[in-house]
Structures are given as C-alpha cells and as structure tokens.
Amino acid sequence: MAYKTYESVEDAKIRIATLKEKYKTENRYGDFAIELKSEKKVIGCVYLRLDTLKAGGIVTLGWTLNRKYQGKGYMTECIKDMFKYVKRNKLANRIFAQCDTENIKSEAVMKRCGMTFEGIARKAGENNIHPRCDFAHYSILEEEIEI
C-alpha cells in the first residue's frame, strides 16, 4: 500500500476525511468498501482511479484486504466484479494494476482475474514496507472482460 497501515480507529477516520475532501474536488477517484455480508463487516477496499485523458481511458485498480480474510477468494471475486463495473459503465478500454514484486498474494489475484503480465518496473516506487521497490505490472482490456 502507498499509505501506512492503520494503527487505530483514528487513523481510519483521518483517511476517510481525506478521501471525502478529494471527492469534492476530483471525480476520477473512488474507494469501494468490501463488506462481508454474513458478518456485516467491512473487510477491505478497492481503489479505482480513472484517467480519461489517455488512450480511450485507463482505470487503475488497487486493493487491500484484512489479513484474516485473505486466501478465501474474496478479493478475486471483488476484482472481477470491478472489471464488470468498468465495462458496463464504459469507463475505460484498459484496466491496470501493479504490486510490489514481493507481494505474491496481490500478484496471484491479478493472475486469477485474467490480467496479462506486462513486465517489471525496476525500483519504480515505494510503499509502506519498502522505500524503493520493483513493481509487477498487469492489465486487462475491455474486450477481454466477460460479463
């Protein structure tokens, strides 16, 4: 994740307030909560950024999931649903995602969702674990998404 892991409820409240302010000025972003209906509990989120200025539109996705709920297929289901959301609403021709090459769980989600590996961007960014890390790049095109 690009931002620090929450250490308190106050950290989450600050993040929510920041997002609310961003939404007032920009309509290219969206954070979608992932709710586990059986527990009536938010277990993660999917982040969507829309860049309509490039090549017919590009959506960038990112996500986070509570560790307790990882490995159960929730994120794969959620990301596939986000693909359908993007296609149905004609938001973009391309969906892009990236992760630290050491984040094998996120990379596995991208593979299970049918995204195509595009390569490694060496020392391309930072996250809450590494000050400099390599990113694995994946994408899926609108015509590759099954509704």
67 φ, ψ (degrees, to nearest 5): -55, -35
How far apart CA 112 and CA 46 sit, in angstroms, is 16
Instruction: Using the predicted structure, report yes or no on whether residue 98 has a pLDDT greater than 90.
Output: yes
Single-letter amino acid, residue 83: F
Is the pLDDT at 94 greater than 80? The verdict is yes
Pick the CATH number of 9-144 from 3.40.50.720, 3.40.630.30, 3.40.1190.10, 3.30.1360.30: 3.40.630.30
* Rounded (5°) CA angle 17-35-91: 75
Give the predicted TM-score (pTM) of the model.
0.83
Tell me if 135 sits within 8 A of 100, measured CB to CB. Answer: yes
Task: Using pLDDT thresholds of 50, 70 and 90, give the confidence band for residue 109.
Answer: very high
